[in-house]
Amino acid sequence: MASLCIPELSEVPTRITPCPILEAILEVRFVTSTPWSVLPGLLFQQIRRKYGDPKDLPLVSLSEEIRRSEPHFTYLPLVSFEGPHFSIRLGPRVISLSSRGAYPGWSAIHAEMSWLVERIRNAGFFGEGERLGMRYIDFFEGDLFPSLRIRPVCADDGVEGVEISMTLAFEREDFQARLILNNSVAADIGGQVRNGSIFDLDLSLGAGQFDFFDNGLGRFESAHRHNKEIFFGLLQPEFLSTLSPEYD
């Protein structure tokens, strides 16, 4: 897989307004010999001080046989634990931390992940990491494509005014990146459904490129840096200037 030539900015903003981040998810996939039936209990023992009881997600109602026979379900969570600012989702081979409501900022997410890594270590079920991923989903009202430095072309002319959904998979140093751009989505924002565009970027590492308990947090840091460089690098400078960028 090739890398994508993304313009480098001399300075990357630390904040833009309004904050377009709809959801931030830090995820690790793993293998374990521990049966699924006891995983939620093992984790809950460790996180109950900050998170509520496990809540079943709808997929849990499917039989284990069906879940296991369908590859699409392999990495989906089956229960969630809700806290005041974050959700933890757990499945037989995945655990993720995601922001709830307004984006709390990277330092808050990093601190929570740091806490969670220790709780996962103490729970003792984590066998071997398979994939470490970070996904940021940004939402913008209207059509985002004219504001991007990447756009579809038809017979040498830019495609405009049509619904576009585009997925790019590329390498970024050690990371695999998957960028989804779509100019016709409906998103639930503060209880209201709004139409617009999403910039959905997922950065991940394979099993040989991280050790969750050793350098997992550092790898999330790197993913966050790449995420910002890709996101801001692909915005048209004129558009970025309308978002009141703040720099350190």
Binding residues for another protein, rule: CB under 8 A, are: 1, 22-23, 31-36, 57-59, 62, 68-72, 74, 76-77, 80, 89, 92-93, 127-131, 137, 139, 163, 165, 169-170, 176-178, 180, 182, 184-188, 198, 200, 202, 204, 206-208
The set of residues, in sequence order, having a beta carbon less than 8 Å from that of 158 and lying 6+ positions away, is 151, 152
Work out how close the CB of 241 gets to another protein at its nearest, in angstroms, rounded to a whole number: 26
Of 12 and 25, CB closest to another protein: 25
Of 84 and 208, CB closest to another protein: 208
Q: Alpha-carbon distance 217 to 114, whole Å?
A: 7
Of 46 and 176, CB closest to another protein: 176
Query: Which residues are registered as beta bridge partners of 226?
Result: none
What's the token pair of residue 80?
A: 């969630």
Work out how close the CB of 39 gets to another protein at its nearest, in angstroms, rounded to a whole number: 10
Pairing of strands 94-99, 157-158: unpaired
Q: Alpha-carbon distance 74 to 204, whole Å?
A: 17
Work out how close the CB of 41 gets to another protein at its nearest, in angstroms, rounded to a whole number: 16
Of 130 and 221, CB closest to another protein: 130
Query: Which residues are registered as beta bridge partners of 138?
Result: 21, 199
Work out how close the CB of 167 gets to another protein at its nearest, in angstroms, rounded to a whole number: 9
The set of residues, in sequence order, having a beta carbon less than 8 Å from that of 82 and lying 6+ positions away, is 51, 52, 55, 100
Of 141 and 246, CB closest to another protein: 141
